[in-house]
Amino acid sequence: MFSHLFQHAKKYLSRSPKSEDELFCTSLKNVLGYAPKQLELYRQAFTHSSVRNVHQHPHRRYYVKPTEHNERLEFLGDAVLEIIVSEYLYNKFSNKREGFLTQVRSKIVGREALEKLAQQLELARFVKAKLRNSSAKNILGNSLEALMGAVYLDKGYARAREVFINRMLLPYVNIDDLVKREFDFKSRLLEVVQKRGKLAVFETVSQPSKDKSHMLFTCTLRIDGEVAGEGNGMSKKEAEQRAAEKAYAAFSAKRS
């Protein structure tokens, strides 16, 4: 009996506490739904450029590895997120125009939206940074982008898509509520145009329909004299909105 108790106690005392890698892996698994293979990729995803890992170098006093922070992964993750969300919206809204899809996508992958999503996912517990509070803007959103870059490199596109759509987007973002918000393309376009110091002019004409039961409106939008978009509608407002939608989609594509 004493021998059995001694062996049990020995086995219990010999158990080592979970390593830092095990704890990190377990926490990430709760977020991603799988155990990461390349842990260093994920550590890098949460390491801000304000953190410097300094090493001795035979010919220099200090040597800083340039790829240890997350900026490169953030660059990759940004592209990965854009294609994931673009594909999702393209399939979900098969009858919607490019301008609509562009606007919904911007509301999902925009800086403020990603920052909020990262907060809901509690990613702050993973982030390593040495910043003052005033310099911490977008750090969580950027870390989320970097995390998606790490997922893509570790597991591929299909897993990255599954993780973002099923474990991040759908549980925390109500897409139906998102698309119910009215998109005022005219106001948005004018804001962008004015920031660039350009002039937008809406030229709208009307004519009776073929059966003369109602009026049809056609709007031509010119920016600095050049045609930027055209739209038709059963009211002046609708025609202007459609012209602005086409122009805004083109502007958004140039900025991305």
DSSP string, 52-74: --EEEETTEEEEE-TTSSSHHHH
Angle between helices 98-109 and 71-92 (to 10 degrees): 140
List of residues 6+ apart from 161 with CB closer than 8 A: 84, 87, 88
Candidates 222, 11, 184, 40; CA nearest to 103 is 184
* The pair of three-digit structure tokens given for residue 162, joined into one six-digit string: 């599954």
Indicate the helix (H) or strand (E) that contains 43: helix 39-45
Active site includes 145?
yes
DSSP string, 103-117: HHHHHHHSHHHHHHH
Active site includes 78?
yes
Beta strands 60-64 and 226-233, pairing class: unpaired
**Cβ(250)–Cβ(235) below 8 Å:** no
Task: Name the active-site residue from 20, 21, 78, 122.
Answer: 78
CB-neighbour burial class of residue 186 (10 A; exposed 0-12, middle 13-18, buried 19+): buried
Task: Name the active-site residue from 74, 145, 240, 245.
Answer: 145
At 98, the amino acid letter reads E
Range list of β-strands (E), 142-213: 200-208
Catalytic residues: 78, 145
